[in-house]
Structure 1
Amino acid sequence: MTADFVTPATDTPAPDPLGRARQNVIYRSGISGITPTVPTSAEKLEAAARRSLLRRPGGAKAWAYIYGGAGSGTTMDANREAFDRRPLVPRMLRNTSRRDLATTVLGQRLPAPVLVAPIGAAGLVRREADLMVGRAAAARGIPYILSSQGSSPMEETAREMAGGPRWYQLYWSSDEQLVDSFIARAEAIDAGALVVTLDTTTLGWRPWDLDLGSLPFTRGVGIAQYVSDPRFTEMVAERVAREAAAGPGADPDAIKVTPRAALTLLEMARNRPGRLLDNLRAPETRAAVQTFLDTFSNPALSWEHLATLRDRTRLPIVLKGVLHPDDARKAFDSGVDAVMVSNHGGRQVDGSIGTLDALVRIREAVGPEPTVLLDSGIRNGTDVVKAMACGANAVTLGRPHIYGLAVAGERGVGEVLDNLLAEIDLTMSLSGASSWEQVDATLLA
């Protein structure tokens, strides 16, 4: 039910609201002829990121990986269409001079119902991508979900965040000891939750990458969590020993030696911690990439695996990639703490349901109490308000923060987050709400 609207019984002037404060910063700069480096509209931000990346060596591969979706892109379209199909119906004369964007998720107080989504191989955009994103999120008190496919070890990112809230996203490897090692490391960095991604037991059909013959992990990009892991280091050493014992030419899948392959080995060496020359000579450089490719995901993942997880971690468990109401019911019946409605940004299954449509069905199925988050499709503050009106407890922001990273590094991420929070605040106010208790389906047509 929509909360009653009560005029505050005070003559104290309301503080400058977040949205207006952000507008004033931009407009005052405009007096001096200074306009935003990071565009404030989603469409222009995307275009600016594309231009920025395509000007760089290897930028076409970076853009393909960050932007591209599965198949013909119909799931990406479905995500946006689901938001467009649900217009807001603003209410008037409700005194929204004092607004509060804060909310609580899994017992954690957030300044707004927003988390920064995990983006794998973000090092394609900036070498220290995870550190930059982590610092920008921490400066605003927004949780950053560290990716299993990060470009910096989770411990380094956590240190850079200086106490800022962070969660950890887990890809369930085919090696159970590696899964346990990742979980232990996530607990050691004081992650606020373990986000288990379910929809990537194998990679989807991604023409943007396939047509370039490009997968960042084959070049050592996005495997920092692995090469920094003690269990993975053991696995690589075992592989090197096996290959040495077998002798040259024993591997039927060995990469054909070409000038391009030599350049790829050089890129692997650059992306691996340590001295470049040492990495070029070391068999572990190539073996680490091959070991990752062999163990990255687990197509056999099932509900039986999930049943073991509660005994393996003290962290709240979030299942990411849930789209069907029956799966959501089963997840909560299995004792997980939250589900994240997600289609991986439209990158896994072409022709899948839009996430906002799935959210509505799932919320109806599980009722009002369980924690349900929304990932995939969020582009602006209006989207956040619509998602909350449809029953989300919070959302994650994916591609837009990486676009900001491409345009202006850490400052770009911060500006994207500032603009998002400002637009949430203004949209909430102009729709007639002062807090999330006043945002529900009655604000939608």
Structure 2
Amino acid sequence: MSPRDRMINAFDPARADGLSPAAGDLIRRRAQAMGPMYRLLYAEPVEVARASGAEIWSPAGERYLDAYNNVPVLGHSHPAVAEAVAAQLGRYNTNTRYLEPMVVDYAERLLATFPGPLGHVMFTCSGSEAVDLSLRIARRRTGAQGIVVTRNAYHGNSLATAALSPSSGPGVPLDPAVRVIPAPEDAPEVFLAALEAAICDLQRHGFGLAAVLFDSVFSSDGLWLEPAGLLGRAAGIARAQGGLWIADEVQPGFGRMGHGLWGFDRHGVVPDLVALGKPMGNGLPVAAVVTRPEHVADFGREARYFNTFGGNPVCIAAASAVLDTIVAEGLVDRARRVGDGLRAALEDLALRHARVAAVRGAGLYLAVEFRDPETGVPDPDTTLAVIGDLRRRGILISGCGAAGNCLKIRPPLCFSAAQAEELSSAIDLALGTLAPGGA
């Protein structure tokens, strides 16, 4: 089974009998009640009792360093979010069809973090909904249907977004109006040429081009940031053919990259639509689409949009606390400083471990790529071996990339220099346990 046919680092339910009686029983009950669609991480799943900052504890008191979870972008159980949510729950919780100032205040604050042309925000509950709404707007605005994505992209799990997420696997067919191109990797000119060819193919088949939809740092494809300005060139190609550029900021957004709040900032171009998600409420279900007003004017008059829970005051209280805390705790600068130190330590590992083919990323979003040192073939077995070894050492991490051969390092932004050193040292030890010829 290839990495494309399974979730990287997924637990195999057939191995439940090898766990403790309590864990095995819980897994069996979970499967019975919740069905086969849900997946657990790690060969030995982690049971959570409490969490704080970048640390998680099991019911037995085992401590784990969380180097993977960007949903609580500030850190697990952040008191500012907990207090804001509890206070608002004690007052009221309605929806955006009632007049109240909190959602307007937050909308204005959020828009102030974006370039001027992006002037409207619409709230959803998840990144999947945000991408779905972006598609509706783009198709309405352009009158076309075609979408271009990258070959291992993940953009959501709704009917529409799963159909343009190749990483969902062969059991989820792509929409006929979707074209897939390689991520930039080390060949940006190939990426741009493939984009032009995909647009031509969409036009030849009568779909036209509604939008190009790219994660701003190509997260699921293995984290490709270079060269700066590449997405501006891609947006120019799309716009010349009547399409829009949707920037998926669900993973790189809210300061993770250590240089401003948004991943697209480094490319010197303003998107047409931006989809926000996971980190926005530090674990509360709030997400959004940010757009240029001209793109949504007709849509708002004729198609309209309402989301019962999107932008509810309790979740907006959480989102507002996230923006406050990012500034108050200097988390963008912290992501840069701690991330720079972590990247330097990982690059030092690459000099001592032949399997490490590359270290990529910025801020607190890094990838370590593994390849066979003799053949250069992607090495997902080493990825899984390192993930498993780290899990046994009490460090949580996962993988990414079309071949499943990259570690995905994406901790909460409160990650400290000491925790970064703990992580890099553990990766060093994990690689040192592997046999020279294989994982």
Smaller-chain TM-score bracket: under 0.3
Q: Which has the higher helix share?
A: 1
Give the TM-score, by structure 2 length.
0.28
- Structure with bigger strand share is 2
TM-score by length of 1: 0.27
Higher relative contact order (CA 8 A, sep 6+): 1
Mark the structure with the bigger radius of gyration: 1
